[in-house]
Amino acid sequence: MAVHSERVQTQSPDTGKAAVASIETSAAGGGVKGTPKKSTRSAGGPGLGTRLAPYLLLLPATVVTLGLLGWPLLKTVLVSFQNLNARQLVQHLTEWNGFENYTEQLTNAEFWAVTGRTVAFTLINVLLIMVGGSLVGLLLNRLGKKMRLLLSIGLLLAWAMPVVAATTVYTWLFDIRFGVVNWFLDRLGWHSMADYNWTGTQYSTFFVIILLIVWGSIPFVAFNMYAGLTTIPKELYEAARMDGAGAGKIFTSVIFPSLKPFFLATTFLEVIWVFKAFTQVYAIKAGGPDSSTRTLPVHAFLEGTGAQHYGTGAAIAVLTILMLGVLMAYYFRIILKQEDEL
Amino acid sequence: MRRSLIGRTWPNVIAVVLFVFFIFPVYWMVITAFKQQKDIVSRTPVFLPLDATLDHFKTAVNAPKFWEYVTNSFTVTVVAVLISLVIATLASFAIARMKFRGRKTFVLVVMAAQMAPWEVMTIAVYLISRDNEMLNSLVPLTAFYMMMVLPFTIWTLRSFIAAVPKELEESAMVDGCTRTQAFMKVIFPLLAPGLMSTSLFGFITAWNEFPLVLILNKTDGQTLPLWLSSFQTNFGTDWGATMAASTLFALPVLILFVFLQRKAVGGLTDGAVKG
């Protein structure tokens, strides 16, 4: 992620590309790895030092990962079984309360409302990002050199824009009185929009948030799509065209099968990124109006540190991590399957 | 070609519309930052201000503690990226060049760590920092930013190392180098562009980070994203100054990104092809 965040990003948007690239390297590297190890050492089996070397090299990375990623994860789980509010925090009390935080959440209507909203929010975003990104990628492939450069510049700037800066700009674009969006809609003849308060209702707030996310995410998909398209041999298109295939048929029978791994991997990456998107949702209206745009990460944050119910917040966080875990498991299955196929 | 004039024109028309759609928010940010106040609070937007002013940039730069935030952002980001670079170089050399038990597990952990749900782990990070009395300090922020960029750094460096032909290293060792010397003298110099672009991407990630600093450093040790997100509240609705602040914050990233794009993606795909 990201990046951006975020990108990138925070998360950062480049991770996907790196992942795609490295699948290929590892597969290719696998073939090279057959080179006998003996060449690195003279006669006899590898010495103790040689056998330990990789573990020593991995030691720092392992230690910091355990300490700075593993420990917070474990701490989240531990706190989710505690009754930890402002009072306990100040007095440094540890009050275990079993599954109370979980039963409280799982029987709580708001939790399920937020979960359903997060799922719908993710689906809409990812659908728009994937369809939009693919279409822009196809367009890039079809344009002439100059127009392609022009569009690439626009995409690149949107992609590079830091999420916090983009959020601030969108707030300004959608400002009630002096926002350029309201002025434009008014000019188009939609006069009731002249002083429209975009963050006044749930749907209009979501509209701004989704536009912000889709705008920032399409470039990644489009560039990857374009890069993928350039790898499809021209002969395939020609053969399909000779067989009388139209544009739609070419997409379903040539482009989609060739780029299926790309579609699957990117879709899951986008699902994971959007599902845990925090900055955009929080910075536009902090889950408002009336908590109606809270998604799971924002909900966990506001319950946990906003309302100082750390145990409750941690339980929501764990439930969110579990849902993400399912998504990530699917993602890894796709990636690993590809690695075997290659 | 039998394609009609319309058939040849419409992709270009759509491309222009899309170009405007994607670039407009960036353009509007920069242009608002240079506008006179009267043009900002005008019911008819000014799309091309001819009487540009630097007043808003002055307001932003002279805001209380602005330079402190700049220093904090740079310190945290640069230190985090440098540490992760050292740790990642060691680890990625092992997974790119060596065969050992547990290699696949480690690779999987790196892949998973790349998608770590930091956004919902902020509560735990807050509690850990608080228990160690390190709230409002740059130390935990640096440590966790380092961890955030580490998996990506390992991942990317791995493909850069794999892209260096193994024969080069081997012939150095035939000529009498130890493995360490072969790494320092052969691989490391070839790795320079990879290290460069990887660290710049790490820089961008850490520079933009928002949720963690939001929760950890409420009174001290704040960074630019936090400052920017609260700018509007602190300055009323001074959109000119807010956009000037956004521009100042986004500019380094935009420049780095444009500069990096071709190089980094090229490097990654080269790595993929040559393997």
Q: pLDDT tens, A103-128?
A: 999 999 999 999 999 999 999 999 99
Nearest to B87 among A15, A64, A331 (CB): A64
Mutation target to probe the A interface, by most A beta carbons within 10 A, among B92, B120, B125 is: B120
Q: Judged by CB atoms within 8 Å, which residues 287-316 of A form the interface with B? A: 296-297, 300-301, 304-305, 310, 313-314, 316
Q: Using an 8 Å CB-CB cutoff, list chain B residues near A20.
A: 272
Output the six-digit token pair for A30: 């696998």
pLDDT of residue A260: 87
Measured distance CA(B234)–CA(B46) in Å, rounded: 26
- Across the interface, whether the CB atoms of A25 and B275 are under 8 A apart is answered yes
Task: Dump pLDDT digits (tens) for B58-95.
Answer: 988 988 888 999 999 999 999 999 999 999 999 999 99
Nearest to A142 among B11, B246, B247 (CB): B11
- Across the interface, whether the CB atoms of A22 and B28 are under 8 A apart is answered no
CA A253 distance to own-chain centroid: 29
CA B184 distance to own-chain centroid: 27
Q: Using an 8 Å CB-CB cutoff, list chain B residues near A156.
A: 257-258, 261
Q: Which residue of A has its CA nearest to B31?
A: A169
Yes or no: say if A9 and A163 are a contact pair by the CB < 8 Å rule: yes
Burial of A276 (0-12, 13-18, 19+ CB in 10 A): buried
Per-residue confidence band for B194, with pLDDT thresholds at 50, 70 and 90: confident
Measured distance CA(A55)–CA(A61) in Å, rounded: 10
Three-state SS at A82: strand
Q: Tell me the shortest Cα–Cα distance from B56 to chain A, in angstroms.
A: 15
pLDDT of residue B270: 40
Give me the amino acid identity at B143: A
- Across the interface, whether the CB atoms of B120 and A24 are under 8 A apart is answered no
Yes or no: say if A265 and A331 are a contact pair by the CB < 8 Å rule: yes
Nearest to A151 among B19, B124, B156 (CB): B19
pLDDT of residue B223: 92
- Across the interface, whether the CB atoms of B128 and A147 are under 8 A apart is answered no
Q: Which ipTM was obtained for this model?
A: 0.87
Nearest to B170 among A21, A39, A167 (CB): A39
Mutation target to probe the B interface, by most B beta carbons within 10 A, among A57, A181, A271 is: A57
User: What are the beta bridge partners of residue A39?
Assistant: none
State chain A's maximal CA–CA distance in angstroms. Answer: 85
Yes or no: say if B257 and B69 are a contact pair by the CB < 8 Å rule: no
Yes or no: say if A276 and A297 are a contact pair by the CB < 8 Å rule: yes
Give me the amino acid identity at A276: K
Measured distance CA(B270)–CA(A236) in Å, rounded: 24
Q: Judged by CB atoms within 8 Å, which residues 154-193 of A form the interface with B? A: 154-173, 175, 177-178, 180, 183
Q: Using an 8 Å CB-CB cutoff, list chain B residues near A169.
A: 25-26, 28-29, 243, 246
Q: Using an 8 Å CB-CB cutoff, list chain B residues near A47.
A: none
Q: Judged by CB atoms within 8 Å, which residues 69-88 of A form the interface with B? A: 69, 71-73, 75-76, 79
- Across the interface, whether the CB atoms of A169 and B93 are under 8 A apart is answered no
Give me the amino acid identity at A9: Q
Measured distance CA(A48)–CA(B222) in Å, rounded: 48
Mutation target to probe the A interface, by most A beta carbons within 10 A, among B47, B210, B227, B258 is: B210
Q: What is the mean pLDDT of chain B?
A: 86
Nearest to A143 among B15, B44, B128 (CB): B15
Region class of B65: left (phi > 0), else alpha (psi between -120 and 50), else beta = left
- Across the interface, whether the CB atoms of A215 and B22 are under 8 A apart is answered yes
pTM for the model: 0.85
Q: Would you tell me how many other CB atoms lie within 10 Å of the CB of residue B43?
A: 10
Distances (CA, A) of B181 to A152, B175, B177, B189: 43, 11, 6, 12
Nearest Cα to Cα of residue A105 among A93, A96, A114: A114
Measured distance CA(B139)–CA(A208) in Å, rounded: 35
Write phi, then psi, for A176 (nearest 5 degrees): -60, -55
Chain B CB within 8 Å of residue A51 CB: yes
Three-state SS at B187: helix
Per-residue confidence band for B146, with pLDDT thresholds at 50, 70 and 90: very high
User: What are the beta bridge partners of residue A309?
Assistant: A85
- Across the interface, whether the CB atoms of B115 and A55 are under 8 A apart is answered no
pLDDT of residue B166: 83
Yes or no: say if A173 and B246 are a contact pair by the CB < 8 Å rule: no
Per-residue confidence band for B273, with pLDDT thresholds at 50, 70 and 90: very low
- Across the interface, whether the CB atoms of B125 and A72 are under 8 A apart is answered yes
Chain B CB within 8 Å of residue A279 CB: yes
pLDDT of residue A258: 86
pLDDT < 70 stretches in chain A: 1-46, 339-342
Q: Tell me the shortest Cα–Cα distance from B253 to chain A, in angstroms.
A: 7
Q: How many residues are listed for chain A in this entry?
A: 342
Per-residue confidence band for B126, with pLDDT thresholds at 50, 70 and 90: very high
pLDDT of residue B262: 63
pLDDT of residue A330: 86
Q: Using an 8 Å CB-CB cutoff, list chain B residues near A297.
A: 117, 119-120, 211
Task: Dump pLDDT digits (tens) for B154-186.
Answer: 988 988 888 888 888 888 888 888 888 888 888
- Across the interface, whether the CB atoms of B16 and A317 are under 8 A apart is answered no
Distances (CA, A) of B85 to A22, A31, A259, B147, B261: 18, 28, 33, 11, 20
For the stretch A231-254, what's the b/e string if a residue is b when 16 or more beta carbons lie within 10 angstroms of its beta carbon?
A: eeeeeeeeebeeeebeeeebeeeb
Yes or no: say if A323 and A299 are a contact pair by the CB < 8 Å rule: no
Write phi, then psi, for A309 (nearest 5 degrees): -105, 80
- Across the interface, whether the CB atoms of B159 and A21 are under 8 A apart is answered yes
Residue in the structure block whose two tokens are 């089996």: A45
Q: Which residue of A has its CA nearest to B84?
A: A61
Q: Which residue of A has its CA nearest to B94?
A: A54
State chain B's maximal CA–CA distance in angstroms. Answer: 76
